[in-house]
Structure 1
Amino acid sequence: MEGHDGDDMNGAGYNGDHGIDGTTHGNDARTRDFLAPVNPWCHAGGSGLFPDAAQTFSGSSSFNQSWLGLESLDLNSGEDWTLSNTRQTGLYRTLRFSMTYGAMKLPLAIGQSDLMKFRKGLPEYLDQMDKMFTGNTVDGSTSFIAGESGTIDLDGTSSDEEAAYEQDDQLTPLSIGNKRASSTSTNASSPRKRSKSPALRAMDNNMRTHNEIANHRLCLMESMFEHRKQEDHNSQSALSQKIDRVTQIAKEMGISAQTPTLFRGLYNIIHNESDMDFFLANGPEERMIIIEQATPVDVVSAAATHCADPWDDLEEMMMAELEHAEDDDAFMYGMYQYALHIDKHLNRAEYRQPAMTGLEWVQRKLGDSKAYYSMFRMSPPMFHRLHDLLVQSYGLKSSTKSTSIEALGMFLWMIGAPQSVRQAEDRFERSLGTVSNMLHKILKCMVKLATDIIKPVDPQFRTMHPRLRNRRFYPYFKDCIGAIDGTHVPCVVPNHKFVQHLCRKGMTTQNVMAVCDFDMRFIFVLAGWLGSVHDMRVFNDGTTTYSHVFPHPPAGKYYLVDSGYPNRLGYLAPYKGTKYHLQEYRDAPEPQGKEETFNYAHSCLRNVIERSFGVLKMKWHILHQIPSYAPHKQSQIIVACCALHNFIRISGIEDRHFARCDRDDNYVPRQASDNQPDPEEVEDESDLMNEFCDSIAYALLNHS
């Protein structure tokens, strides 16, 4: 359900979001896309596929009426409105509505093929679509940049603590690809996940049976109390009615406060239910005698009658039963804790004695540069420099059972190959809990590193990059300081988050925005936005919510952006509707006209962001599909990969992935465009930047 960009509403362009957008559509957006037919003959008893005189819809909005040829249409009333009096010449005109409660977007489509699909009415599945999208909101609360959101905290446990239970976790990543796909199986030195002991399984069954009996007992007692409460209510109601009747008859007999002796007799009667029954069963003369002869209430006798109530005995029995049940509960709970203690401490599997520890495996690979680069995506000198930096400045420490070198090697191996937690457990001979904690520890350090390394070298951008001095770009782009773009990172998400993460490619992704300079270094990275949103939503969040961190262009400077962003002050976009990407020019004639000439130069210079994304994904394969970690951890993994990207770039040590791009400025790794939806064009916003764009285009055309 994607929105549409560049559609003019009230004469102003807007940036459409991808349907499920809590900010635009409210906290409970129920989005419905459908085609609504409009009858061009709006007279009574109209003809055609839709014989009704007009189609009536509900909405609250307004738009440029000239698009539809409507003479009068008011959508701001908040009431039902009718389309009528069309001035079009075609046979049918269709409107595509993205309808929400309180907001409406009305992009226009002309044609008859889609209209024919609805000749029998709207689809039957609209109610199911309402249910599907109910509560699916995208409000930006998941966005993450290094240093501005909470980093990962270890849950107060040692990184070497062996997990008491290694049960399957829904968030435990699955194996990806064919490489080591079956490595969750283990050998003799790495036994399978230990199952529960017989004592614990028996106590599980006993506890389940005990809980069922206790629940049945409580339900029975509740029903008995409810029955007693209802009986008391009925008895009190009947007694009140009987007292009212006796009192009314006594008044008719002339008994009142003026006859104190008879009034006291009446008072004595209404305190004894049997006397009232006898009183009501006789005639007027007998009733007077009964009142005259009524004796005072015997309080002791009444108390004795009350004590004889069988419900009192039942209540005492139930209270005694509850006391016994508490003793049973305490006994069962104690036995269960004892079974847990046995299972945890007295029935543990023997410690593994691996033929080669994880540390030994990492050190062995360090001796082979080629094998090490394949496994850990960097050279041994780069690894040692990164390890020393994390130890000295970012809190990486060894523990009694695992070293910092092993933890860092495992982290790089997991995000580079990629490998799952279970594969790391098998390779490094560690429990799942230990592997997870080691991953947390390194990821926490990487997020801290990202805070210091993902930022401009010179926040004022005072130095012109050497590439801009090339005669192809100078002096036309001499004030350009970098490029901005978004990339979709596939990720595995829970079912209830599927719709929000669904991008236009039909897969679940995170929409990540990055800013880079011409050295292919990221200077700003915003992760965490769900794949269903438009790039402009992410851009606006980065420039507003994180305005204090975002590297805004100084006066007179600007970034290069693609057609998915508007031409606005400080951000230079290409001409819309004209071929732009380099692959469109490779097998085509030379650029013709000012627009193609400008777009070609713009694309050649802006491809630095695409090349940066390509190297990033070519090196860290986990970004091809992030496993089903918690969503906030997925965002932190993306930022950590960008931090490693920058560290390698500024280290001064040659890297084969960067070297391939350095040899050819027009080389863009294919990973940059894999599974990436095409940008949705948006309308330009700044006449000043449009004029600036034209001036560069004419200068380039004259130079050529």
Structure 2
Amino acid sequence: MADWSPGHTRTFCEIYGMQIDNGNCKMGAMSKSGWDDIRSRFFAATGRLHTTEQFSSKFRNLKQEWQFCNLLRYCASGLGINADGTPATDDEWWKTHTHGHKSWREFRNGLPSYLEYMDRMFEHVAVDGSTSFVAAATNPIEVPSSDDEDADEEAEHLTPLSPSTPRSSSSKRSGSTSTTAHSPSKKSKGAAAREAASNMTRHNELLSDRTKLLKTLWQEREEREEATRTEHRRRVKQVYNLAAELGVSAETTPHLFHGVMRIVENDNRMGCSLRPQLQKGSS
């Protein structure tokens, strides 16, 4: 596995989140075109060329890392908190919970800077990208070309040249049997050019309006998704706090605590777990 710096990890997470927005990752499964785009964008940003297998391995490692970070930030009340906000645990706790993941011990001094991007990767990954629009995308929106239409229109004003019958060398009269070819008039050419220019102007106006509309829809969708993510995090914290009140912790009841971690992975499970608590609060 290639050596990953925090900066490269953050870049990968950002690019992966972009694929989710573009609809290339549905139900947590990245499409082939999504992996292709990740490889090319990552290489352009870092100069490092990785295979799909390397990125897939990094993705799996990041998911475990993200779950461990959730343990730190949502269960800190059960572990104790230092003055700087980090969990107050001893060396033995860190050694036990980071076994096989030595790099996680760095989080004792603070959570990773790319945690918000991991949230984007692993929270609500099943996004329908049918209406996605990236405001900063460099690729233009594909629109039908009007070149063919202009060519057809100009062709309507052209009269095919008819082959002329050569004059007889024995006849010098002006009244020959040859057929005169007719070329399109300048007026017809000018009308076709003006019509083409008018069509192009209308085309550009429609494209501009479409772009503005898509930007507005994108912004509204981002606001909705951010509200959904905020509500998801609030529920996760509520579940962990409820577990702590019931005496469930990673140290005293590891099997039960593993079940709590499975619950917070899914909103429906959290809803079932919190329903009795919510009913109690409303009564």
TM-score tier after normalising by the smaller chain length:
0.3 to 0.5
Determine which structure has the larger helix proportion and give its number.
2
Q: Give me the TM-score of the superposition, normalised by structure 1.
A: 0.16
Instruction: Looking at secondary structure, tell me which structure has more strand per residue.
Output: 1
Q: Max radius of gyration: which structure?
A: 1
